[in-house]
Structure 1
Amino acid sequence: MVYTGVLRKMMTELGSPVQYYLQLENDIININQALNKTLEITFIKHECLHCHLDKPIYRQGFCKSCFFDIPQAADWIIRPELSTAHLDKEDRDLAYEKKVQLQPHIVYLANSSSVKVGVTRKAQVPTRWIDQGAHEAIEIVEVPNRYLAGITEIALKEYVSDKTNWRKMLKNEIEDADLISEKKKLAAFIPEEAKPYYLENSKETSIEFPVLQYPSSLKSL
């Protein structure tokens, strides 16, 4: 079989194990079914995910001109504490920024190489955790906008990392953590504006990945 399309981040579905789907132009392929099989991938051309032109990809799937222009690649995407839609202030496109920023966001703990703190839109749970390779995760607060999530993450990363050691993650060198206990320890450090949104009764989510064998050594490209 030959399939053609733009290579994007795979879709995922929480299950035992997680299911991965590669979405192409006219096909959706369950990648789990390709485990232990030989695949050949051939590069045809570039395609920016925004303008769809054949231009070199700069970052996040966008060409350089789109990356520095469109709201989907603005700084607040990576640094949610820079969000300003709740103040009715525009960065690149206020309508888009209100749509994305002014919706429920989750600040969470995840264990992908060690315990880390992170932010995602509520609609992206558990997708975000799967994308990060987390074996377990728990919600800390659910806030009404991205700014509150951002300042909460900033406060909590003084006490817990916000980074993943990708080598340990890929080699599965991960120890189970008591995320409920870790969440309770961090509760005291949540900013005052976000404390009313603390999730006292949130539970751990466990994630199983479809791995046949983890590598013993890694080499970056």
Structure 2
Amino acid sequence: MEIRKFVWFDFNTNILLKSKFKNTKICKMIYQGVLKKMMTENGEEINYYLDMKTDFINVNQLLNKEISLNFITYECLNCHLEKKIYRQGFCKSCFFDIPSAGDWIMKPELSRAHLDEEDRDLEYEKSVQLKPHIVYLANSSNVKVGVTRKTQVPTRWIDQGAHEAIEIVEVPNRYLAGITEVALKEHVADKTNWRKMLKNDVEDEDLVAWREKLKQYIPQEALEYFIENNSETNLNFPVLKYPAKPKSLNLEKTPTFKGKLVGIKGQYLIFEDETVFNIRSNEGLVVSLEI
């Protein structure tokens, strides 16, 4: 349910353009909705958007603004019931039942749709697994290997907070991408250090050189899909100040938080007091957002 109290507020000038209350002096807006990962738009600087059911917020406009987050309850992203979230925004029963939470999501090498073998729902699994996939290198806290659907480039890199990335293999299904990732992570990391990423404690890397170095380890089944000639993609995040010692906010333990937003990187909100809040890992929480 939307509980917005005031409307038509200009974030850039702090001017209340129109109010449904006469003689209003306090310029506040309050939204309520279930958290889902922020949508992004790449450009000279990445734009972030938060969908709060009936409202669509450009989060970049909240930089340098004081905002409050308040935990209210839970809402499973699948069944939409008020049930405690287990993983990935789903309640426990949905997580172990729905096809979009199958083990092959996190472990693409377990994909079997190319063999016409069902895990939970073959039709759904074919619709996802039998599409072009990219194996990539990204530099967020260090050089890492990862897998994503081709349609998720560069969204996947943005979500991981990578300031540079490059495609190394484009394969026709998720399984081939998965076995390539398994082979390459013997020689390069496959995880991001979120603290290092948020501190921006990273160095530029020559990802083209890394691509050539790792080519020898690509499985024979995927080697024909190696990308010979391409260049790095560079990403610029809207951050005014990076935290020296980021501390993670847990809204379930600290249900009310207020602070000045000074940056957005990956799926994290960064506050002036060095508190950081991961929207993605809190999907399924119903919150109110006061600006």
Instruction: Tell me the distance in 2 between the aligned counterparts of 1:129 and 1:77.
Output: 17
Pair 1:153-2:191 in alignment: no
Deviates more, 1:2-11 or 1:172-181: 2-11
Pair 1:163-2:191 in alignment: yes
Instruction: Tell me the distance in 2 between the aligned counterparts of 1:181 and 1:105.
Output: 22
Query: What CA deviation, in whole Å up to 9, does each residue of 1:92-149 have, x standing for no partner?
Result: 0000000000000000000001100000000100000000000000000000000000
Deviates more, 1:35-44 or 1:79-88: 35-44
Instruction: Tell me the distance in 2 between the aligned counterparts of 1:59 and 1:131.
Output: 17
Query: What CA deviation, in whole Å up to 9, does each residue of 1:132-183 have, x standing for no partner?
Result: 0000000000000000000000001111110111111010000000000100
State how 1:116-131 maps to structure 2 within 5 Å.
Answer: 116-131=144-159
Instruction: Tell me the distance in 2 between the aligned counterparts of 1:146 and 1:24.
Output: 32
Q: Which SS does the other structure have where 1:95 is aligned? A: helix
Partner of 2:126: 98
From 100, 103, 116, the equivalent of 1:72 is 100
Measured after TM superposition, the shift of residue 42 of structure 1 is 2.1
Q: Which SS does the other structure have where 2:44 is aligned? A: coil
Q: Which has the higher strand share?
A: 2
Larger Rg: 2
Instruction: Tell me the distance in 2 between the aligned counterparts of 1:176 and 1:168.
Output: 14
From 222, 228, 234, the equivalent of 1:200 is 228
Amino acid at match of 1:127: T
Measured after TM superposition, the shift of residue 15 of structure 1 is 1.3
From 213, 238, 245, the equivalent of 1:185 is 213
Q: Which SS does the other structure have where 1:160 is aligned? A: coil
Q: Which SS does the other structure have where 1:214 is aligned? A: coil
Measured after TM superposition, the shift of residue 43 of structure 1 is 2.1
Partner of 2:165: 137
Q: Gapped runs of 5+ residues in structure 2? A: 1-28, 250-291
Pair 1:36-2:100 in alignment: no
Question: What's the RMSD between the two structures over aligned residues?
Answer: 0.8
Partner of 2:50: 22
Q: How many percent of aligned residue pairs carry the same amino acid?
A: 71
Which structure is richer in relative contact order (CA contacts within 8 A, separation 6 or more)? 2
Q: Which SS does the other structure have where 2:72 is aligned? A: coil
From 89, 107, 118, the equivalent of 2:117 is 89
Deviates more, 1:19-28 or 1:60-69: 19-28
Amino acid at match of 1:140: I
Pair 1:7-2:35 in alignment: yes
Amino acid at match of 1:154: V
Amino acid at match of 1:150: G
Number of paired residues? 221
Amino acid at match of 2:62: A
Q: Which SS does the other structure have where 2:147 is aligned? A: strand
Amino acid at match of 1:48: C
Measured after TM superposition, the shift of residue 219 of structure 1 is 2.9
TM score, norm. by length of structure 2: 0.75
Q: 1:220 to 1:43 in 2, by over 3 A?
A: closer
From 229, 246, 249, the equivalent of 1:218 is 246
